[in-house]
Amino acid sequence: MSEVFKRAAAEYAVAFVRSGMRVGLGTGSTARFATQRLAELVRLGELTDIVGAATSQATRAEAMALGLTLMDDALPADLDLTIDGADEIDPELNLIKGGGGSLLREKIVAQASRRLVIVADDSKLSPHLGTRFFVPVEVLPFGWRVQARYLTSLGATVTLRQAQQPFLTDQGNYILDCQFGPIADLKGLALALQARAGILEHGLFLGLATDVIVAGAQGVRHLP
């Protein structure tokens, strides 16, 4: 049933797109439904002059296969709207993202967007970030154990993400999955992560989402 909810949230969000927009295309199962719906509307001629910006190589490949026009990875123009998913969402619309490993590119695209629309099923809602999901942290392979010790000193249980061998991001970096439990000071933790050489990005997306579209058994809700 969650797939039904994900599709409902994604298709609701695509209704915000207008012809001529530059649209960020998110990564993950829910965002994929949005990319598919967007491509369908372009094929039908209901939307024209749409240019996309992919948040991962996987999303780029899918968007190209669907016939969408994409800007290059230099992102030569700001974006009108990005539709992306999230792993956890708190009542202030702060997010944890990066379960798919694309957090660095996702954050670059989010910060380049005038509007960030998050799509999710209602299982992603949480009273406090860290309650339901770990915080992904992208680090350089060089010195990654130094970063793991630092993250442990901040209170995390740290796991190197594996896929038979260490998982590599599109940039060739590692992901450390950090279980903090409910996070009392989101801004403080974000600053501590940003201040450390070798940590390239973290999965706390604070104050970036402008809209959250959540679908569940009670229907689709728009959280502004």
Q: List active site positions.
A: 106
- Give pairs for 109-113: CB < 8 Å, separation 24+: 109/24, 109/53, 109/55, 109/75, 109/79, 109/82, 109/84, 110/24, 110/82, 110/84, 110/205, 110/208, 111/208, 112/24, 112/53, 112/75, 112/78, 112/79, 113/24, 113/78, 113/79, 113/80, 113/81, 113/82
C-alpha to C-alpha distance for 30 and 22, rounded to whole angstroms: 20
- Please compute Rg for the chain using Cα positions: 17
**CA 170, CA 173: separation in Å to the nearest integer?**
7
Q: How far is CA 203 from CA 67, 87, 93, 138, in A?
A: 30, 9, 14, 8
Closest CA to 84 of 70, 105, 69: 105
**What DSSP character marks residue 95?**
E
Residue 215, φ and ψ in degrees, nearest 5: -120, 145
